[in-house]
């Protein structure tokens, strides 16, 4: 059982129904042109089967329902009953009422329609002029509906039977003429009797339900649909329907139709060429022939009982139809106005024909009898409204499921073929890619083989190199005190004079400029076998041992030099005082005079012993003539000779005695301060005559002696500190020499590494340095400058290595030092932990002060925000200063601290003039410093003291 969709908007679903219908018959039958009668394709043939599933709606045209009126002649019975005709047709579009009734003067007498058929007009003519055009629309894909409307016995059935026959003839003629198309005709029929829908082909099926399907629209459930084999088949089907239709006898009609009948022909057509090629686009349309039950008046039909009931249903449904038509005919109705299609099954089923996707022709039948004037006028009113209703029919194009399946199969086959071709292509591409990868792997393997060879070669070279180093180190062991010799021979500029200044170009800007061996050759003073061996040692290895020691000794010698200058000034001052005493005190007692004389002698002996073989006037002393040396110091240190009392102690004792014995003597008012101009040449001994004017009173002299005493005491303390440092360094030198062979690799400078490994190594070492800085309370300025200066350049490796070793050594020996150059020159060069912390405290205080003096308010606010310090908090600067360099494990904190200190205290931002040499790893030429006396390093003082 199939379903018949009455909705034009779901013709695809209808196609599905069609397929089901085909399955219900023995064989699907397509009408060929050979079986069709001749028919001309008329003006409605605007279908284009190539346009798609359904024509765009804008191709549909608005069209009024075609309305025609057909007058029925008076029947014999009416004539017998003295009926007379009161309607006339002056032309084929106008019908005029000849009977005038004053009480109904408001009724029009004349009505105009699309077509008016006089009583003598044949049904064929009625069809031809009133329905054919619409009927043939169905052959071109447009839905079409022809229905007859009129009072009972007005000739509706008479007319529609003729119209259907004529339409069938036309349809078959059309099919015959269009051999290039294949047509499919399907037949279905229903009636609405007392608002019950029945299948006229299968009335035993009972009432049919009208369904609203979301996809297919309105559907008559289980309505049988037959494929029409030919015209006679159609006629037979029509006869079946006629036989099944509800007919009753009324006073007006012996064979009165008591139901609304709807005969549907579904016409599907498709070009034969397309069918042969496979994909099938079809035109499909529903052609409805509607024979309504006639409106009737009970007074006229004398109906009662069943007939009366039928009449009520009929009138009610016709009333709904009239309402629908009337509403649809209103030109001012809103598009959203409600149309009561659902108030009757008739209007619901015919909704498409009434203002929808269909062409519609209404043939209004009327009796010309004067007895039916009122009913006729009502029919004309209805017809008048109907002709104002606008439909919008469109060509329906559909593709059948079977054809769709065929098309999809064909497309699938096509896609599969493309896929196979693509797969083959992909396979070939994949093979090519594999081949390319294989070649690439082969090339990489070859390159790896070469790399392995290079690696092996490098390994053998490295082994050979290590062997040479080991041989070299063994050679070094055979030379007594060789390390000390090396250190001494490599000593840079702190020899008096300029003979070694060239050797100081050892490192410059972090890059190795000249090897120790080169430096040694430049000095050219010590030509020993060791020297020759040293020249042949690779640069890196040669530097490794000596560089560390050189650095330490460099620092020590530098301090010695500075301290020597201070000592010079102190002794010079003492000498002046003593000379003044001699010249100005006439009443000096004998004992005091002897003391002074002895003091002068001691001072002279100091000069003499210090300047053995050299001029005391400060002339340049050839280095080869200098009797003292670090080597001697080291040897003395090794023999525990460092505890000798220095000459400063002797002077101190003598001054103390003099102070006691010369009470009342006159002394110089004051000592000349360090660096103060005295009017003498730096290297001259003061002329006693020139010191005359210093003499004042004995009290002043006593005060002067106390000043000298204090000054010498201070000198003594400083010398003691240097002694201590010296002792540590000497021990370190001895330790390094002892472990030279065992720990060659340990004192080597870091070997060049790859950029990646260097990067990680750099960060690791710097992290260790951070910790050591913190542990050793290293100056904040030093930390900051070091951090900002060494940012990871591979050339920084030496600086990091030395800094790390220096700090490790300091920590190990619990000697806390601050290596900032500023402090290096001060008297606190060797500090206790407490003093180091004091330095840091001073630096923090400096930060507090400089934050205010060196930065603008805006800059300070920016820094507070950066350090997350509220701008309105009290002691902001103190808080900030106390935060700096307190979290050495936090890289960001370290970065911020370094930049802040550099900006606020050091006035250096990391890119300024501060060089890496400031960290005492460079042996760049030292500034030539003239001394008041040709002071030797402090080590010579030690020797004097021990002498
Ligand atoms: N144009 C006509 N020429 C000759 N006879 C006609 C014509 N129209 C109708 N008749 C005759 O009038 C009678 C009634 O016609 P018909 O049954 O078609 O009316 P109807 O409108 O269908 O009535 P009902 O609504 O009751 O079914 C029939 O006997 C029919 O043969």
Could you tell me which of 429, 529, 535 has the C-alpha nearest to residue 482?
529
Residue 805 tokens, joined? 């070793």
Model confidence band, residue 498 (pLDDT cutoffs 50, 70, 90): very low
Cβ 248 under 6 angstroms from ligand 1:
no
Residues 25 and 154 in one domain: yes
Residue 153 assigned as binding residue: yes
pLDDT surpassing 50 at residue 685: no
Ligand 1 pocket, mutate which of 153, 252, 314, 366 (most atoms under 8 A from CB): 153
Is 40 flagged in the annotation as binding? no
Q: Is 493 in the pocket of ligand 1 (CB under 6 A)?
A: no
Tell me how far apart the alpha carbons of residues 51 and 391 are, in angstroms, rounded to a whole number. 22
Atom of ligand 1 at shortest range from CA of 258: 27
DSSP secondary structure letter of residue 885: T
- State whether the beta carbon of 156 lies less than 6 angstroms from ligand 1: yes
- The pTM of the full predicted model, rounded to 2 decimals, is 0.45
Q: How many Å lie between the centroid of ligand 1 and the Cα of residue 344?
A: 25
pLDDT over threshold 90, residue 873: no
Q: Residue 811 sits in which domain range? A: 779-818+820-919
The alpha carbon of 154 and the centre of ligand 1 are apart by a number of angstroms equal to 5
829 and 698 within one domain? no
386 and 518 in a common domain: no
**195 secondary structure, DSSP code:** T
The b-or-e profile of 23-53 (16+ CB within 10 A means b, else e) is eeeeeebbbebeebbebeeeebbebebeeee
Q: How far is CA 505 from the centre of its chain?
A: 52
Distance CA 119, CA 525 (A): 152
CB 295 near ligand 1, within 6 Å: no
The Cα 691–Cα 673 span in angstroms is: 15
Distance CA 575, CA 137 (A): 142
Residue matched to tokens 């194009």: 397
Q: Report yes or no: 386 and 370 within 8 Å, Cβ to Cβ.
A: no
157 lines ligand 1 (CB under 6 A): yes
Which residue in 738, 709, 700, 920 sits closest to 829, CA to CA?
920
Query: Taking 50 as the threshold, does the pLDDT of residue 484 lie above it?
Result: no
For 40-53, what is the mean pLDDT?
Answer: 34
Span from the CA of 256 to the centroid of ligand 1 (angstroms): 9
Say if residue 495 is in the same domain as residue 602.
yes
Residue 155 Cβ < 6 Å to ligand 1: yes
Higher pLDDT, 275 or 646: 275
- pLDDT grade, residue 73 (50/70/90)? very high
Q: What is the pLDDT of residue 871?
A: 87
Judgement on whether residues 20 and 114 belong to the same structural domain of the protein: yes
Mean pLDDT of 46-55: 35
Residue 585 is given by DSSP the state -
197 and 81 in a common domain: yes
Rounded distance between C-alpha atoms, residue 519 and residue 500, angstroms: 9
Q: How far is the CA of 399 from the centre of ligand 1 (A)?
A: 42
What pLDDT, in 10s, does the model give residues 777-817?
A: 888 888 888 888 888 888 778 778 888 888 887 777 654 44
DSSP 89-133: EEETTEEEE----GGGTTS-SEEE-SEEE-TT--HHHHHHHHTHH
- Structure-model confidence comparison of residues 868 and 576, the more confident one: 868
Asked if residue 682 lies in contact with residue 932, where contact means CB atoms within 8 angstroms, the answer is: yes
Same structural domain for residues 394 and 407?
Answer: no
Q: How far, in Å, from the CA of 583 to the mean position of ligand 1?
A: 174
Nearest Cα neighbor of 147 from 68, 74, 93 is 68
SS percent in the chain: helix, strand, coil, step 5: 55, 15, 35
What sign has the CA pseudo-torsion 39, 43, 47, 48? positive
535-538 CB contacts, 8 Å cutoff, 24+ apart: 536/472, 537/469, 537/472, 538/465, 538/468, 538/469
Which residue among 443, 478, 513 closes a domain? 478
Is 91 among the domain residues? yes
**C-alpha 936 – ligand 1 centre gap (Å):** 153
Instruction: Say how many Å lie between the CA of residue 857 and the centre of ligand 1.
Output: 113
Q: Is the CB of 292 under 6 A from ligand 1?
A: no
- Does ligand 1 come within 6 angstroms of the Cβ of 765? no
* 873 vs 215: which has the higher pLDDT: 873
Q: Check whether 664 has a pLDDT greater than 60.
A: no
pLDDT at 630: 45
In this structure, which residue's CA is closest to atom 23 in ligand 1?
Answer: 153
**What angle separates helix 833-854 from helix 876-883, to the nearest 10 degrees?**
130
620 φψ region: left (φ > 0), alpha (ψ -120 to 50), beta (else): beta
Give me 24's structure tokens: 């219900």
Q: Does 256 contact ligand 1 (Cβ within 6 A)?
A: yes
Predicted pLDDT at 209: 92
Q: Which of 686, 718, 744 is the last residue of a domain?
A: 744
726 in ligand 1 pocket by Cβ < 6 Å? no
**497 and 417 in a common domain:** no
Tell me the CA–centroid distance for residue 74 and ligand 1, in Å: 10
Asked whether 79 lines ligand 1 (CB < 6 A), one says no
Total domain count for the chain? 4
So what's the pLDDT on residue 665? Answer: 39
Domain containing residue 392: CATH number = 3.40.850.10
Compute the half-sphere exposure of residue 559: CA atoms within 13 Å on the CB side of its CA. 26
Q: What is the pLDDT of residue 53?
A: 34
Beta carbons within 8 Å of 452's beta carbon, 6+ residues apart: none
pLDDT of residue 813: 63
State residue 363's pLDDT score: 95
Residue 527's pLDDT band, with cuts at 50, 70 and 90, is: very low
Dump pLDDT digits (tens) for 357-392. Answer: 899 999 999 998 888 888 898 899 999 999 999 988
Three-class DSSP category at 40: coil
Say what the pLDDT of residue 625 is.
38
Residues written for the chain? 947
Q: Which residues make Cβ contacts (< 8 Å) with residue 776, sequence separation at least 6?
A: 807, 810, 811, 816, 817, 836
Please report the pLDDT score of residue 459 as a whole number: 78
The one-character DSSP state at 932 is S
Q: What percent of the chain has pLDDT over 70?
A: 54
What number of other Cβ atoms are within 10 A of residue 471's Cβ? 11
49 confidence band (pLDDT: 50, 70, 90): very low
Q: Known binder of ligand: residue 150?
A: yes
**Which of the four pLDDT bands, split at 50, 70 and 90, describes residue 549?**
low
Q: Whose CA is nearest to atom 12 of ligand 1?
A: 155
Averaged over 166-190, what is the pLDDT?
A: 91
Would the annotation count 19 as a binding residue? no
Higher pLDDT, 48 or 111: 111
C-alpha closest to that of 785 among 899, 904, 923: 899
Say what the ipTM of the complex is. 0.98
How far apart, in whole angstroms, are the C-alpha atoms of residue 354 and residue 861? Answer: 84
Flag whether 300 is in a domain. Answer: yes
Mutate to test the pocket of ligand 1, among 75, 76, 121, 155 (most ligand atoms within 8 A of CB): 155
Give the model's pLDDT for residue 171.
93
What does the mean pLDDT of the chain come to? 68
CA 17 to ligand 1 centroid distance, Å: 36
Task: Determine the pLDDT at residue 791.
Answer: 83
- Predicted pLDDT at 10: 33
Ligand 1 centroid to 157 CA: how many Å? 6
Residue 73 CA to ligand 1 center (angstroms) comes to 10
**Domain annotation covers residue 564:** yes
Q: Is 536 found in the same domain as 411?
A: no
In this structure, which residue's CA is closest to atom 10 in ligand 1?
155
* Rounded mean pLDDT, 314-343: 87
Place of tokens 């709904």: 320
Query: Of ligand 1's atoms, which has the minimum distance to the CA of residue 294?
Result: 25
Does a structural domain hold residue 440? yes
Task: State whether residue 270 is helix, strand or coil.
Answer: strand
87, 163, 253, best to mutate for ligand 1 pocket (most atoms within 8 Å of CB): 253
| Cα 246 to middle of ligand 1, angstroms | 16
Q: 9-23, 99-113, 625-639: which range is least confident on average?
A: 9-23
Domain assignment present for residue 169? The answer is: yes
pLDDT tens string 250-273:
777 777 888 899 999 999 888 887
- 152 within ligand 1 shell (Cβ under 6 A): yes
Task: Tell me, in angstroms, the distance from the centre of ligand 1 to residue 255's CA.
Answer: 9
Our answer on whether the CB atom of 72 is closer than 6 Å to any ligand 1 atom is yes
Would residue 50 count as lying in a domain? no
835, pLDDT greater than 80: no
Q: Is 584 in the pocket of ligand 1 (CB under 6 A)?
A: no
pLDDT of residue 726: 63
Task: Kindly indicate the confidence band of residue 698, based on its pLDDT and cuts at 50, 70 and 90.
Answer: low
* 587, 726: one domain: yes
Do 535 and 428 sit in the same domain of this protein? no
- Find out whether the beta carbon of 255 lies less than 6 Å from any atom of ligand 1: yes
Local confidence band at 347 (pLDDT 50, 70, 90 cut-offs): very high
User: What is the reported pLDDT for 318?
Assistant: 87
**708-745 pLDDT per residue, tens:** 666 666 666 666 666 666 666 666 666 665 665 454 44
Confidence class for position 144, pLDDT limits 50, 70, 90:
very high
Which residue in 155, 128, 124, 160 sits closest to 145, CA to CA? Answer: 160
| pLDDT of res. 929 | 36
- Per cent of the chain over pLDDT 90 is 17
Which protein residue's CA is at the shortest distance from atom 16 of ligand 1? 155
Q: How far apart are CA 163 and CA 288, in angstroms?
A: 11
Query: Which phi and psi (to 5°) does residue 408 adopt?
Result: -65, -40
340, 346 Cβ separation under 8 angstroms: no
CA–CA gap between residue 917 and residue 288 (Å, rounded): 110
Residues 6+ apart with CB under 8 A from 806: 551, 819
Residue nearest atom 26 of ligand 1, based on CA coordinates: 256
Tell me how far the alpha carbon of residue 153 lies from the centroid of ligand 1, in angstroms: 5
Q: Are 785 and 918 in contact (CB under 8 A)?
A: yes
At 54 the three-state DSSP class reads strand
- Does the residue 41 lie in any domain? no
Phi, psi values for residue 118, rounded to 5°: -70, 170
Cα–Cα distance for residue pair 202/240, rounded to 1 Å: 9
Strands of 110-112's sheet in order across: 87-91, 94-97, 110-112
Residue 770 lies in a domain: no
> Sorting pLDDT into bands at 50, 70 and 90, what band is 69?
very high
679 annotated as a binding-site residue: no
Query: Which residue's CA is the nearest one to ligand 1's atom 1?
Result: 72
- Checking if the pLDDT of 314 tops 50, the result is yes
249 CA → ligand 1 middle, Å: 13
Q: What is the mean pLDDT of residues 864-890?
A: 89
In terms of Cβ atoms closer than 10 Å to its own Cβ (0-12, 13-18, 19+), residue 251 is middle
Final residue belonging to a domain, choices 353, 375, 399: 399
Is the pLDDT assigned to residue 859 strictly greater than 70?
yes
What is the pLDDT averaged over residues 821-834?
46
151 a known binding residue? yes
Please answer whether residues 350 and 145 qualify as being in contact, where contact means their C-beta atoms are separated by less than 8 angstroms: yes
Clarify whether residues 445 and 377 are in a common domain: no
Task: Find out whether 156 is annotated in a ligand binding site.
Answer: yes
Longest dimension (CA), the chain: 195
**Protein residue with its CA nearest to atom 15 in ligand 1:** 155
Closest CA to 393 of 836, 45, 57: 57
Please report the atom of ligand 1 found closest to the CA of residue 256.
Answer: 26
């Amino acid at each position: 059982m199939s379903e018949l969709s009455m909705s034009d908007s779901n013709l695809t679903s209808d196609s599905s129904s069609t397929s089901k219908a085909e399955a219900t018959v023995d064989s699907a039958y397509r009408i060929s042109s050979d079986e069709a009668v001749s028919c001309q394709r008329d003006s409605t043939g605007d279908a284009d089967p190539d346009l798609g599933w359904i024509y765009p709606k804008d191709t549909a045209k608005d069209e009024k329902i075609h309305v025609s009126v057909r007058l029925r002649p008076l029947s014999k019975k009416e004539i017998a009953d003295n009926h007379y005709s009161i309607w006339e047709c002056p032309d084929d579009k106008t019908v005029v009422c000849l009977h005038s009734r004053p009480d109904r003067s408001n009724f029009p007498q004349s009505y105009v329609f699309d077509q008016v058929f006089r009583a003598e007009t044949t049904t064929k003519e009625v069809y031809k002029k009133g329905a054919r055009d619409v009927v043939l629309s169905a052959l071109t894909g447009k839905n079409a509906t022809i229905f007859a409307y009129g009072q009972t016995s007005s000739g509706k059935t008479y007319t529609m039977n003729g119209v259907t026959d004529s339409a069938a003839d036309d349809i078959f003629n059309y099919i015959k003429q269009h051999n290039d198309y294949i047509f499919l005709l399907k037949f279905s029929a229903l009636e609405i009797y007392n608002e019950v829908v029945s299948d006229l082909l299968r009335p035993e099926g009972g009432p049919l339900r009208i369904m609203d399907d979301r996809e297919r629209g309105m559907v008559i459930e289980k309505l049988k649909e037959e494929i029409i084999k030919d015209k006679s088949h159609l006629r037979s089907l029509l006869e079946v329907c006629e036989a099944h239709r509800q007919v009753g006898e009324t006073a007006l009609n012996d064979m009165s139709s008591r139901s609304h009948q709807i005969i549907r022909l579904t016409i599907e057509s498709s070009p034969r060429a397309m069918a042969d090629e496979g994909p099938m686009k079809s035109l499909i349309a529903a052609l409805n022939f509607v024979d309504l039950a006639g409106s009737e008046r009970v007074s006229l039909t004398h109906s009662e009982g069943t007939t009366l009931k039928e009449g009520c249903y009929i009138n009610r449904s016709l009333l709904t139809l009239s309402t629908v038509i009337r509403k649809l005919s209103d030109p001012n109705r809103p598009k959203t106005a409600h149309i009561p299609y659902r108030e009757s099954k008739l209007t619901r089923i015919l909704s498409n024909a009434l203002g929808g996707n269909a062409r519609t022709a209404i043939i209004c039948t009327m009796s010309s009898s004067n007895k039916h004037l009122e009913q006729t006028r009502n029919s004309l009113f209805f017809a008048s409204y109907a002709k104002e209703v606008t439909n919008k029919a469109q060509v329906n194009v559909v593709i059948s499921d079977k054809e769709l399946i065929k098309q999809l199969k064909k497309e699938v086959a096509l896609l599969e073929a493309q896929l196979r071709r693509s797969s083959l292509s992909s396979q070939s591409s994949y093979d090519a890619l594999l081949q390319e990868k294989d070649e690439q792997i082969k090339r990489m393997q070859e390159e790896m083989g070469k790399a392995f060879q290079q690696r092996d070669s490098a390994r053998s070279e490295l082994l050979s190199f290590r062997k040479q180093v080991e041989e070299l180190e063994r050679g070094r062991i055979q030379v007594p005190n060789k390390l000390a010799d090396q250190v001494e021979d490599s000593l840079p500029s702190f020899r008096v004079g300029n003979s070694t200044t060239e050797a100081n170009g050892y490192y410059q800007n972090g890059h190795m400029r000249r090897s120790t061996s080169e430096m040694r050759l430049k000095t050219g003073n010590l030509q020993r076998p060791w020297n020759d061996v040293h020249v042949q040692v690779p640069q890196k290895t040669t530097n490794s041992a000596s560089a560390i020691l050189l650095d330490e000794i460099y620092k020590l010698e530098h301090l010695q030099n500075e301290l020597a200058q201070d000592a010079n000034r102190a002794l010079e001052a003492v000498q002046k005082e003593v000379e003044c005493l001699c010249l100005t005190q006439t009443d000096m007692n004998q004992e005091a005079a002897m003391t002074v004389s002895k003091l002068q002698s001691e001072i002279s002996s100091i000069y003499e012993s210090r300047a053995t073989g050299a001029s005391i006037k400060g002339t340049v002393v050839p280095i080869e003539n200098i009797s003292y040396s670090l080597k001697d110091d080291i040897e003395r240190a090794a023999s525990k000779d460092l505890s000798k009392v220095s000459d400063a102690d002797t002077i101190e004792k003598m001054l103390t005695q003099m102070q006691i014995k010369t009470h009342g003597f006159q002394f110089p008012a004051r000592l000349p301060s360090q660096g103060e101009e005295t009017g003498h040449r730096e290297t001259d001994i003061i002329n006693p005559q020139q010191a005359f004017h210093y003499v004042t009173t004995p009290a002043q002299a006593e005060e002067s002696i106390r000043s000298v005493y204090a000054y010498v005491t201070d000198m003594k303390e400083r010398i003691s500190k240097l002694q201590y440092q010296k002792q540590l360094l000497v021990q370190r030198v001895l330790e390094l020499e002892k472990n030279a062979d065992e720990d060659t690799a340990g004192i080597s400078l870091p070997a060049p590494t790859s950029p990646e490994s260097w990067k990680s190594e750099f960060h690791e070492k710097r992290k260790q340095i951070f910790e050591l800085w913190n542990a050793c309370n290293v100056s904040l300025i030093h930390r900051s400058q070091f951090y900002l200066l060494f940012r990871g350049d591979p050339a920084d490796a030496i600086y990091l290595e030395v800094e790390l070793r220096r700090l490790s050594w300091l920590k190990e020996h619990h000697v806390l030092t601050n290596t900032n150059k500023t402090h290096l020159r001060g008297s606190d060069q060797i500090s206790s932990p407490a003093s180091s912390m004091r330095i840091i405290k001073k630096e923090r205080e400096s930060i507090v002060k400089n934050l205010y003096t060196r930065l603008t308010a805006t800059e300070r606010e920016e820094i507070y925000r950066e350090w997350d310090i509220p701008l309105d908090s009290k002691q902001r600067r103190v808080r900030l200063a106390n935060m700096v360099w307190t979290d050495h494990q936090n890289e960001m904190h370290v970065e911020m601290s370094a930049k802040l200190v550099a900006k606020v205290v050091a006035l250096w931002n990391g890119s300024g003039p501060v060089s890496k040499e400031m960290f005492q790893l460079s042996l760049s030429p030292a500034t030539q410093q003239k001394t008041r006396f040709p002071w030797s390093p402090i080590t010579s003082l030690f020797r004097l003291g021990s002498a």
